[in-house]
Structure 1
Amino acid sequence: MFEHDPHDHPSDEAWNEATRPPTGVSFIGSFEGRALITCDFDGKPCWLAGEVAAILGIGGASELARRLAIDWAAEARQGVHWVRIGQLELSELRLDLSDRGVVMPSSLAEASSTLLLLEPGIALVAARCSAEQRQASVSRRLLAHLRDRVIPDVAAIRRPSGSPLQREAAAIVRERIELERRRWEYDALAGLCDALADQHEIDPEVIWAYRVVAAEIALCGELWQLKPMIEPGWLSPTQIARRHLGVTAQRVGQVISSTGLRDSKVHSKAVLNKAVGRDRAVVSHLYSPAAVGLIERELRSRGYRRVE
């Protein structure tokens, strides 16, 4: 209907754009040792998609965004379940986090935009993960944590009840409770690390990684630069078995025992993993690329073929 005037300046359009709602931080918290920051978007509680994805084991904010936009597009609506804030709002959010002493991961510190999950979005993502039998128990615990603790605290912060002195005293009590909870989690994890170090069953690098996690709990921030990384190419018996037709993890374990690799300090690393379908940790082993090559040669000699 209207012709575009080439003399119009792009900045003229900015005057007609709707102002985005303010974005801030309600309070800094955590869930089962992982950071969980409650933000405020237009007066509604929301959470960083990257942190929720890490808790639910989805794989990151980008994977969660893909699922919302494609896999769950029929249910997930922008503005109702999720919002994406741009560079200006994200800069304000980062400034607020920095003022509160939060150590931000590089994925957030260097991003030009980020995805926030509103309360209905958290419920949708948790329900989908439970339906897929992935982290079902974690999803239920996360929803209970938000419903019973976080959301009531957010409402209490916004409720103008009592005198300013009473509100300040209540805020101090909440911060004290959060500090004591973090201190308890730190002491428990640090004690576990000390016990594991005395038993000499777990690789020292793994114990160091858990000590870094304990420090993250104490500081309520991410210290990803201090976490040791396992070199690429190290595989578990289950991963080796998946690369071969008709081979089970138990069969690979028999080969490992026959070759003496399990007791090798050079080619074997003991790590802690969460048991499948259970809320407990188990000790498993990873094997170096050289050990993997030896195991696969032994499997070939027994007639097993690798999947190409």
Structure 2
Amino acid sequence: MSFDWMKIPYAFLTLFIVVNFGFLMNAFIAKIAARVGRRHGIPIWQYYADMVKNYGLRSSITHGVMFYLGPVFRLSGGVGLLLFMPAIYGSTMFSNLSFAGDLILALYFIFFGTLGMALGAGESGHPHAAIGITRGLSQVTTAELPFALAVFSVSLQYQTLNVTEIVAAQQGGMLNWTLFTNPLAVAAAMLSFLGSMMRPPFDIVIAPQEIPIGPPTEYHSSYLALMQTNRAIFPVAKIVIYMNLFFGGASDWPTFFFKVFLIYLWSAFVGVVFPRFRVEQSIRWFLVWAVPLGILSIVWVN
């Protein structure tokens, strides 16, 4: 089977579109959160200004090699996840590098960046690094468990691990979406989504209400810029999976932007309504509410 090399420039075009959309969407969500708190919020262009500034800085601080590879691994997880996911259903240009069984690869990419970031933080020398790593990996593990169960349920339902085939099975009307054919799997996945976005009440790693610690404090200059770039790419890339698996995918860019924004708005809405959980509360919440829904979704399709 020959590889279509023309997919590569189109995949990078998708990456360019998603990076800019991610920056604008993050800024707009921050505006919404600020207005809820009766504040004006940052300018829409602030993310671009921060990116230009940080990419232009250099640092003479020396840590171990893994400390500097952490942001690289984090960005690789987001970019790889996006490049191997079909962005627009039915489009040869924007199917990216998707292939049969790409759903399994997507699950690996989701966890890849998190593990890389944990290794990088562990070599920072900060006395609180171990606390952040423990918090992060504990929550990520329990949050990803109901999502993995939901993905397993969907793959059983459609008898495939190919994302394009799963989207194809949902065509023909809104009632064919997994949202309506397997609502338990969607409920488990959307609860998991709240934890994976790490917005309140699940922002236990950075813990902005406490003494500032974590990657935004430890990293600086172009390394911080890599993490900022990933904060624009990874949320959109993960939402693309949710859109394809549960909400019928997107057949054009306006539909893509609309669905991605609405899915992201779900975590933003919860974030401005509820205060932050403690670590044990967060883990218990996923195990008590989300995991049973994921198990029931598998029973549903059987």
Q: TM-score, normalised by structure 1?
A: 0.24
Larger-Rg structure: 1
Question: Comparing both structures, which one devotes a greater share of its residues to helix?
Answer: 2
Question: Comparing both structures, which one devotes a greater share of its residues to strand?
Answer: 1
